[in-house]
Each structure stands twice: as C-alpha cells, then as structure tokens.
A and B are shown apart, each in its own frame.
Chain A
C-alpha cells in the first residue's frame, strides 16, 4: 500500500515552468536590444548566467541542498538576465560577474535561498554596483555607433581600451544633464529633436527594446504568471505624475510616453516589480506596491542623482511590502460586510 495525502490530481505546474516563461517573455526585448543597441548584450547574458549558476551551485553545496533540483528551477537565471539587461551593455565582465554573484550569494542565499529573499536580488546587484562603480555604470554606448561584435567583446573583457566615444549617457541621463546645465534656452522639444539620441517617441533604439519588454510582459499577464495590478499601478502612477508635470511645464518635463519607454520603466513594471517573492501578495497590496514603485522611480530619475530610479524604487517598496501586506489583507468568504 502507498500513502499520500490528497489532492491526488495536480496541475502541471512547477517553479521551473514559471521561471522559464519569464525568460521566454524577456526574449522580444533581448532581440530588440541585440539588434538595435548591440549584440554585446548576448555576451553579458552569458556571463551573468554563468556567474549566477556558479554562485548558486556553490551556495547550495554550502547549505547542503540538492543541487540538481534547485539549479534547474531557473530562478538564478531570471536574476542573471535581469542583471544583464539593467547593466550597461559594454560594462566590463567583472562588474556583471561581481554583481550577479553578490545578488545570488548575499541578496538570495544569505536570506535562505529561493522564496526567502526580502529584496529583489537583481535590483540589489544594480544598487550595489551603481554605488560602488558610479562612473562605469553610467557609461552607455551611443546608439548610432556601429561596432563589430568582436570589438564589443574585446571591450567587455578589457582587451581594448574603453574609448570615451563609446561612453555616452542614456537618453534619460542626457536629458537630465542638459536640463541641469541651467541653460534656460534649452527646451525639451528641442532636445528630443536630436535624433542621435532620441528616436520617435523615446530614446533611439531603446524605445523598441522597451516595446519588446511590453510585449513580453503582456504575454506573461496573458499566461497569468503575473497579475495585472503591479504593472497597471506602476505605469499608471508614473504616467499620472509625469503627465501632470508635463502639462504644468512642458519645457522642463518630458512627456509621459517618453518616460514610459525610457530606462527601465517597462522592464521594471512587468518583470522586476512583479517579482512575487519580494513584492506584495494581496490584490490591494499589489496596487499600492506598483503605484509606490512607479512614483518613486519617477521622482528618483527626474529629481535624484542617478540616471534611473527603478532599482531604488523597487528596493524601497520591497522594504515596505510586509507592512503593506499586513494592512491590506482581503476580507474572506462570508466576512466581506463584517469588516
């Protein structure tokens, strides 16, 4: 006789399936990235994946957990890919490597591994690196610059000098710097007309990468891997705030579309703020979490000192997620009118 508890029927679902689908959803964005910005991103993805699996295997061994089971769950790969996608594509290999190892070892396993991390590991890696290596984390390749893949690899591995021309700022950063110059003649409209940096509605090239993330994110929502609350609240609050400021002074503030398709907004809204482990779990909590992250991201990127605010916004909201969850517990069946 055999003994097992009910239910005996189980849906075909697993952690690795969830993680695989997240990776699949990232692919449209990655293709746009490799096509329009540079194939170097593919190299960075490989470096990050390798580093993540290495660190994961090491930590699992240390903690005496079954290697095969946890290595194949795919959670480390999702973290690695998010790190590669948020770091500058021509960042030196050791920076991506260090960031990824830090994320897996300190942000994930020190807290107890899969499912236990209070902060999004990828965003911890981003925050640590931007604080430790601010200059290199702000060097983004000019999109118009044509560079062969081999040359890009040489730069990543430090075999070729890091030419200054390679290192421009992101569209977001360029705009902020320009506005900071204090030249009152500058006008957002004029800035956006600069087709070297800006494309049809946001950063040149980057706008299509963001569109790729949007497509992937919508597919994730369609597959019910993520729920609608976080992305909607994130995008909604960011749109509202940027829209209000843009209407108030279109000369000094960029339009909402620009903000939506710039930097990490869409990647953050669909892939980072939706991380279930470190985010909120109740429906109302998710709305608050998403809205808070969207607002903070806008405030930090427009008024703060960093090129983009998504990472810090998400980390700050991670910090408050348990309290939000505690305060937003939904009423249960039969008790809705009694609370």
Chain B
C-alpha cells in the first residue's frame, strides 16, 4: 500500500456533505436565458465571435481563445444572441465583464460535432483541441488544462495526480461525478497520462467518500489501468493541490514555484479529466457542469447545469427557505457571496450554498490578537498568520512579504480557528492586492520616467542638431557672401568678413520668426475651421439615424466599453453642454 505523508496544520470543520450526496445528479431544466461571461478561465479574455441577433447552436463557439493561456467559450444551448454586453459576473468585486446573453429556442440543437481523432494527433493538436473545447481546471482556479499538460523541459514527470479530495464542507459535486461517471474520469486520466508520460498515476480521494473510492477503483480495474486510487485522511485543505501532492508523494512545492511540473508532478481535478474526455471522445465542448445546491434549502442535491444559468433560477430547484439572504459560490471556507443573485453559473462554479444567518451566524466583533498561535498551528503552509496580520493591518506591506504572504493560499484555516474572530484571510487578500497594485504603479512610474528621460534626451539632441544646422547654414551663407564680395570687389577688405557673419545671424532668426508666424496663422485658421465645423456638423451627427445605424452605434459603444473606455466620446456630450 502507498505510504502517505502528512501536511502541517489543517482543520476539521463539520463536513455537511451528507445533505446533498445521497441523491443522484439530476439535469436542470432550461433556464429563461443564459448569460455566458467570456472570461471564465485564467489568462486572456476570449474575443466574442457572435453579435446580437445571431442564431447559435448548442456547442457553437462564441468566444475565441486569446493567447496560449486562454480557453474558448461556447453557446450552452441553441437560440438567439440577445446581446453581447457588460454584466455583473460571479466575482467578489461585483464588477461587470463582457457576456454573451442567449435566449434559448428550446430545441437544444447541437452544432455538428465529431470525436477527435486521437490516434493520428500530435500532442500539439490535442492541446489545440482542448483549448478550442474550453477545457479548464474545474476545481476552482480555472487554469486552462492544455497549459498544464506539457512536462517541464528538464524535470522528469514522476506523478500525475487526479484530485478527487473535495475537502471543502458542503460540496459534493466531485463525489457524485466519481460515483456516477467514474469510467469517463478514468479515460480522461488515461488521456492526461498519455500526454504527460508520468511514472505513476495517483487518484486521491478523501476517506469520507467511500462510495466514490469504490466506484473509481472499480472503473480503474474494469478499464485495466494501473492507476492507484488512494483514500487520503479527511482534513481540510487536503484537496489543495500542494497539500494533496504532499500527502501522496511527500513533495513540498514551494509557493514561489510557478508550476508544480517543475517538481515532476501535476494535478488535475476529476471534473477536468471528465470534461477533457468528453471533448475528445464526443467532441463536446465544456458547456455544462455539475453544481451542488445546498445550504439553507429544502432539497439539497447535485444538478448538471448549463454554463450561464442565472444562479437564482438554479437555486430555486433546491427550494431555498424563505430566510435565505444570499448565495455563496464555492464552499464556506474559500467561497464568496455573489454580488447579486442573477449572476450566472460559470465553469468554476462547483457549489451554490443558500446563505442564512441561521446557518452562518454573523461574526462576533473582532477582538485584538492575543498571539495565541492557533493560526500558525493550522496554517497548511506553515506561515505565521498573526505576524502577517500585524503588518497587513498596519499596511506595512514590505514586512508582510518578509513573512511570505504570497505563500498564503487563502484556505481560511487561520480565520476558522482564531479565538479573537479576526478576519485574517481578508487582511491577507487586502495586503496582496495592495502589493500588486503598488507593483503595477511602480512599473508604470518607471516606464513614465524612462519615457520622460528619453524625451528630454531627444529634445536636447534635436536642439543641438538644429543649432548645428543653423550654424552650418550661416557659415555657408557667410562663405557665399564672402565669395560674392570677393567676386564683386577685386580687393576684398579683410575686416568685412566678420561683419557679414554678424548680419547673417539676425537674418536666420527673422526667417525662423516668419516661419513661426505662418504656422500660427495656419493654426488660427484651423481653429476657426474646427469651430465652424463643430457648430455646423455636430448637431447633425446624431440626428436622423436609421435604426440600423443606431444599432451599429450601440455596438461600437459596447466595444468601446469592453476595451475599457468607460466614458463615451466627448463628441456626443459636448454639444449638449454648450
């Protein structure tokens, strides 16, 4: 049997999994409309390839991957694109992002799709296919899967780990997926295995899911694979990638390391393996996922739901109690309250918890830290949270970095145990985003400085060049004059040459003056013209537009906003002000 390791710290919160894991996965009915955010994975925001009014089919590409670390987005059902516009997305910021809104036509008609020919495909083709199919990490972060399927150049790939730990309380979507669709997960795992060529494949599942362990074991045996299914001790956050690596292999991947592949190990969520297999074997892009509906509801269960389904419509399936006052996306340890209830389900939405004060009582007032060290006892990355808190609170961000704040995975164990009820993780998130902002500002300032200095240098150089040119012209003119004088008067007076020189300089200056005056006049004229144009042309600009033009204008507006230009152009505003 495999020798398991332990990771430091961790907590054992009440698991609340039995509420929702005893019913099979059901399929959610078609929602009234679908709001599909284009940015659903880490990396570049996909570019919309449909526009309002377009008819789309189920599985049709609506957002094209932008760059290598980016994944495509597809229409979850057939219907009409209502708009491509900014909508609130499920993110703690409550900010808008570009979404494609689709009105389903009810036919749910698939676009033509075919299995991907694995046998004759090079790895690069498989990566491209996965990217085109929008396969991203469904465990939480949403990292495009193809980006993790290349082994590090000079490190041998030792282990491929499939993460079925699902350590957060309440969530059971991976548990149910493993119970019901184990064979496809195992096939997806085999696909990853073929691409990464690891020495062994480990499937880690927390030991509070014996049914899932049994189902996966049975599927591995039935398919004749040599994967090892391991029941790992239940302890939050055993499902954290680095914690699971530690438990299964004993390796500790430092926080500063960008990819675990540099340590010869790679981790994928079970649902990622499942969707990858669907994309390859059936040509189906990621347009739905399993979501756990639980918390303050009458019928907690798991549903297979289309990406883009509004959360309030979805949660109604589980019949929330009337005192529900919010929706939590993700687990209660790392999830967040969605900014409003109409936000859509995205690829990383694994769980919706109906929030109520009965389930999650409001926090007691924050007390001062008594340095009891409970947080350091449970921190799975062996940090000193109370020290980081001290400095984050004082906004002494340099010190927080000395205490390795960027190794914090925000698992929430420290806040969970803190007897003083300090929102430690929140302080760390705050400090991290401030440090990032500062780095951005610093970079911008450095760039501005470099550009400013270059401009100064260029101006100096231009001035010097101009002076040189003038001097040369003057000298040439003087020489010419001298030559003329020499030609005119057979006997040139030696004393006249310097005087000629002195005359030419003012001449050059007056030439420059007249040039300037001419320029000013041109500008003056242009100003008059512009003014006239503004007065004459502007009112006409927005009047008498055909509906078609108006729609085009609206679209341009949308694109502008998408590009980050929040203000509409001044042209349409200023005439009203005048």
Residues of A within 8 A of B (CB): 1-11, 13-15, 17-18, 66, 69-70, 73, 75, 112-116, 224, 227, 276-277, 281-282, 329-336, 338
| Complex contact A333–B325 (CB within 8 A) | no
Q: Name the 8 nearest CB pairs between A and B, nearest first.
A: A334-B254, A7-B412, A115-B368, A333-B381, A334-B252, A5-B426, A8-B332, A13-B419
CA distance A10 to B169 in the complex (A): 12
Most buried by B among A10, A113, A282, A333: A333
CA distance A336 to B425 in the complex (A): 24
**Stretch from B282-290, B382-390, B477-485 contacting the other chain:** B382-390
| Complex contact B423–A11 (CB within 8 A) | no
- The contact string, 1 if C-beta is below 8 Å from chain A, for chain B 331-374, is 01111110111000000000000010000101111011111111
| Complex contact B371–A277 (CB within 8 A) | yes
Pick the contact of B365: A11, A69, A334 (CB < 8 A). A69
CA distance A66 to B368 in the complex (A): 12
| Complex contact A333–B417 (CB within 8 A) | no
Q: Which residues of A contact B14 (CB under 8 A)?
A: 9
B20: Cβ under 8 A from any A Cβ:
no
CA distance A219 to B374 in the complex (A): 17
| Complex contact A276–B382 (CB within 8 A) | no
Find the A residue at minimum CB distance from B12.
A11
- Given known pairs A1-B340, A332-B407, the reply for A7 and B334 (CB within 8 Å) is yes
A-B contact pairs, 9 of them (CB 8 A): A1-B339, A6-B332, A6-B333, A10-B363, A14-B421, A333-B242, A333-B246, A333-B407, A334-B252
- Given known pairs A69-B365, A115-B370, the reply for A281 and B376 (CB within 8 Å) is yes
Find the B residue at minimum CB distance from A226.
B372
**Interface of B, helix, strand, loop or mixed by DSSP:** loop
Q: Which residues of A contact B362 (CB under 8 A)?
A: 4
CB distance from A110 to the nearest CB of B (A): 15
| Complex contact A2–B371 (CB within 8 A) | no
| Complex contact A18–B254 (CB within 8 A) | no
B488: Cβ under 8 A from any A Cβ:
no
Q: Which residues of B contact A277 (CB under 8 A)?
A: 370-371
Pick the contact of B425: A6, A114, A331 (CB < 8 A). A6
| Complex contact A14–B364 (CB within 8 A) | yes
B268: Cβ under 8 A from any A Cβ:
no
- Given known pairs A10-B416, A282-B384, A334-B257, the reply for A15 and B367 (CB within 8 Å) is yes
- Given known pairs A9-B169, A14-B421, A281-B376, the reply for A114 and B332 (CB within 8 Å) is no
| Complex contact B332–A281 (CB within 8 A) | no
CA distance A6 to B341 in the complex (A): 18
- The contact string, 1 if C-beta is below 8 Å from chain A, for chain B 142-164, is 00000000000000000000000
| Complex contact B335–A6 (CB within 8 A) | yes
Q: Which residues of A contact B325 (CB under 8 A)?
A: 1-2
Pick the contact of B333: A7, A113, A114, A333 (CB < 8 A). A7
Q: Which residues of B contact A112 (CB under 8 A)?
A: 368
CA distance A261 to B215 in the complex (A): 60
| Complex contact A332–B383 (CB within 8 A) | yes
| Complex contact B419–A336 (CB within 8 A) | no
| Complex contact B333–A332 (CB within 8 A) | no
CA distance A324 to B11 in the complex (A): 28
CA distance A73 to B364 in the complex (A): 12
B133: Cβ under 8 A from any A Cβ:
no
CA distance A18 to B14 in the complex (A): 21
Most buried by A among B363, B365, B370: B370
B72: Cβ under 8 A from any A Cβ:
no
Q: Which residues of B contact A9 (CB under 8 A)?
A: 13-14, 169, 332-333, 360, 416
- Given known pairs A6-B332, A333-B382, A334-B254, the reply for A11 and B417 (CB within 8 Å) is yes
Find the B residue at minimum CB distance from A14.
B419
Find the A residue at minimum CB distance from B325.
A2
CA distance A15 to B13 in the complex (A): 19
B255: Cβ under 8 A from any A Cβ:
yes
Most buried by A among B11, B365, B416: B416
CA distance A4 to B252 in the complex (A): 32
| Complex contact B337–A276 (CB within 8 A) | no
CB distance from A230 to the nearest CB of B (A): 11
| Complex contact B253–A334 (CB within 8 A) | yes
Most buried by B among A15, A66, A69, A114: A15
CB distance from A221 to the nearest CB of B (A): 13
Identify 6 new A-B residue pairs, CB closer than 8 A, beyond the known A10-B363, A112-B368, A333-B382: A6-B412, A11-B11, A14-B367, A281-B384, A333-B8, A338-B254
CB distance from B537 to the nearest CB of A (A): 47
CA distance A127 to B392 in the complex (A): 35
| Complex contact B373–A227 (CB within 8 A) | yes
Q: Which residues of A contact B328 (CB under 8 A)?
A: 8
Q: Which residues of A contact B332 (CB under 8 A)?
A: 6-9
| Complex contact B242–A2 (CB within 8 A) | no
| Complex contact B8–A13 (CB within 8 A) | no
Find the A residue at minimum CB distance from B386.
A281
Q: Which residues of B contact A7 (CB under 8 A)?
A: 332-334, 412, 415-416, 425
B233: Cβ under 8 A from any A Cβ:
no
CB distance from A12 to the nearest CB of B (A): 10
CA distance A5 to B418 in the complex (A): 15
